[in-house]
Structure 1
Amino acid sequence: MGEQKRKQEQKPEPYFIFEKKNYQYMLIGIAVIVLGFILMSGGGSDDPEVFNPEIYNWRRIRLAPTLVLLGFGIEVYAILLNPKNK
């Protein structure tokens, strides 16, 4: 009788695949990816007859893709991270 009462009193905890630390790293990774895409935007020309060399600057060609790839790396790390093992 006491065993059944204890089972009824225990509420099942919500089931999450990841823990809080994993979600924090995921949010950091998403922020880095978004920052990379923001840095990659712009540099176009309003007139299609005029070439704007600003599209080939260092920020759009080197920095932004590097940030996007770094963000994806952080996402992979966040998925593979197992905070239970210490």
Structure 2
Amino acid sequence: MGEQKRKEQAKPEFIFGKKNYKFMLIGLGCIALGFILMAGGGSDDPNVFNPEIFNWRRIRLAPTLVLAGFAIEIYAILLNPDKE
């Protein structure tokens, strides 16, 4: 009977709060968007150079979004869900 009481008292709790998970999803979205923006730009013919691979979106915007996404993830982990 003691084990059953202990199981009833130990109800499962999440490590993070709802606020943390929201920020984690936003961070994952930023990371995914950054990798999507980085994709493409290659050439079908290996003998032809396509300068589209060095445009602003792939060189500046996409890596910045990925790094911002990782920063948001770190913030989401360190955020105190109880503090308002």
Which range, TM-score by smaller chain? 0.7 to 0.9
Give TM-score scaled by structure 1 length.
0.85
Provide the residue aligned with 1:20 in structure 2: 18
One-letter amino acid of the counterpart of residue 61, structure 2: L
Percent identity of paired positions between Structure 1 and Structure 2: 72
Using the alignment, how far apart are the partners of 1:48 and 1:13 within structure 2? 60
| SS state at 1:42 partner | coil
Q: Specify the structure having the higher radius of gyration (Cα).
A: 1
Provide structure 2 residue ranges, at least 5 long, that are not aligned to the other structure: none
Correspondent of 2:61 among 45, 52, 63: 63
- TM score, norm. by length of structure 2: 0.86
The aligned counterpart of 1:4 is none
- The unaligned stretches of length 5 or more in structure 1 are 1-7
In 1, distance between residues paired with 2:33 and 2:83?
Answer: 32
Query: Does the aligned pair in 1 maintain the 2:16–2:81 contact within 8 Å?
Result: no
- 2: distance between equivalents of 1:50 and 1:12? 65
